[in-house]
Amino acid sequence: MSEGAPIPGIVITGASGRMGQMLVKHVAASPKARLVGALVREGHPWIGQDAGTVTGGAALGIAVTDDPLEAFAKAQAVIDFTSPAASVEFAALAAQARAVHVIGTTGFAPVDLERIRAAARHAVIVRAGNMSLGVNLLAQLARKVAAALDDDWDIEIVEAHHRMKVDAPSGTALMLGTAAAAGRGVELEAHRARGREGVTGPRRRGDIGFAVVRGGDVVGEHDVIFAADGERIVLRHLATDRAIFARGALRAALWGQDRKPGEYDMIDVLGL
Ligand SMILES: NC(=O)C1=CN([C@@H]2O[C@H](COP(=O)(O)OP(=O)(O)OC[C@H]3O[C@@H](n4cnc5c(N)ncnc54)[C@H](OP(=O)(O)O)[C@@H]3O)[C@@H](O)[C@H]2O)C=CC1
Ligand SMILES: O=C(O)C1=N[C@H](C(=O)O)C[C@H](O)C1
């Protein structure tokens, strides 16, 4: 954001969710942004109540709403950690309002990504399976390590999340797999091993494998393993606080204010 620019107004979608509640608090506490809206699903019991008090803090003078059109009209940015169906709809509405759309949601199908790409013709969209500085740095490291090693080194990605997570593998695991594939100069989809069970036969040379753990309240853990005969490299990121994602998302919303329409990611935002 350029010096002297007005402080951007930000709407949080999915305000009742784990990330939504964290974002309401984070944006409200930031001197660099103004919280101008908190959106929930139609019919949600929080509608009309103060966004600060329902998320466990002091009153903010912002009534929770279920009307995205009205909310986005007041915003310079929308921060959205919801579901693929909701984010695709919000991408079109945010583009209409010419608001920067920061999408943290994961689990998109290819058809959803096409619709997000279409919206990005008219507005700035920043989308990343993980908004933390640490994971985006890890993705760059995974890319570099993969570029330095040949197919004698098997690449496996192991991720763990809380019991409520609905998509697998995580958006972060896919991001890390994509980065490792890029380092090797291949497409992930052509080399992706999607989980193993039964008599699988030996590992296919050059595959990038994914393994998923779900349980308890794990915020998010990711290992990128490079395994060869006689040695192994493990690159690891452990998230212990969702604030890291909120911090990254707000940074993306501010960064997006001065950009041309298009689809960006956190590597762009962080300049990595
Ligand atoms: N990129 C990143 O850095 C991160 C990404 N994530 C991703 O963010 C997403 C949300 O995670 P989390 O907060 O844990 O999930 P929650 O289930 O806690 O929250 C999701 C929120 O979105 C709302 N929502 C879902 N679908 C709709 C819809 N169709 N219309 C309106 N509102 C909707 C839910 O409302 P209701 O409860 O009423 O259904 C809820 O408030 C996930 O995809 C997760 O993987 C999470 C953390 C970091
Ligand atoms: O659902 C979550 O919680 C998380 N989702 C993101 C993902 O799918 O990678 C990011 C983070 O790991 C937490």
258-263: list long-range contacts, CB under 8 Å, 24+ apart: 258/1, 258/2, 258/5, 259/100, 259/124, 260/124, 261/120, 261/121, 261/122, 261/123, 261/124, 262/120, 262/124, 262/125, 263/116, 263/117, 263/120, 263/125, 263/126, 263/127
Ligand positioned closest to the Cα atom of 210: 2
CA gap 136, 142 in Å, rounded: 10
Name the residue at shortest CA distance from atom 42 of ligand 1. 105
pLDDT tens for the chain, residues 1 to 272? 666 778 999 999 999 999 999 999 999 999 999 999 999 999 999 999 999 999 999 999 999 999 999 999 999 999 999 999 999 999 999 999 999 999 999 999 999 999 999 999 999 999 999 999 999 999 999 999 999 999 999 999 999 999 999 999 999 999 999 999 999 999 999 999 998 999 999 999 999 999 999 999 999 999 999 999 999 999 999 999 999 999 999 999 999 998 999 999 999 999 99
pLDDT of residue 5: 77
CA gap 117, 132 in Å, rounded: 22
Q: Output the CA angle 225-194-204, nearest 5 degrees.
A: 70
CB 89 within 8 A of CB 65: no
Question: CB-based burial of residue 49 (10 Å sphere; 0-12 exposed, 13-18 middle, 19+ buried)?
Answer: middle
| Residues of the binding site | 14-19, 41, 104-106, 128-131, 162, 171-172
pLDDT of residue 6: 85
pLDDT of residue 3: 66
194 to 152, 157, 169: CA distances (angstroms): 20, 11, 9
Strand, coil or helix: 189: helix
Q: Output the CA angle 82-157-227, nearest 5 degrees.
A: 170
Whether 161 sits among the annotated catalytic residues: the reply is yes
Whether 165 sits among the annotated catalytic residues: the reply is yes
pLDDT of residue 242: 98
Query: Which residue is catalytic, options 165, 191, 222, 237?
Result: 165
The response to whether residue 128 sits with its C-beta less than 6 Å from ligand 1 reads yes
- The order of strands in the sheet holding 34-38 is 34-38, 9-12, 77-80, 100-103, 124-127, 262-264
pTM value? Answer: 0.97
Query: Which residue is catalytic, options 25, 26, 101, 161?
Result: 161
The ipTM value here is 0.99
Six-digit token pair at 210?
């994914």
pLDDT of residue 1: 67
Distance 215 CA to ligand 2 centre (A): 13
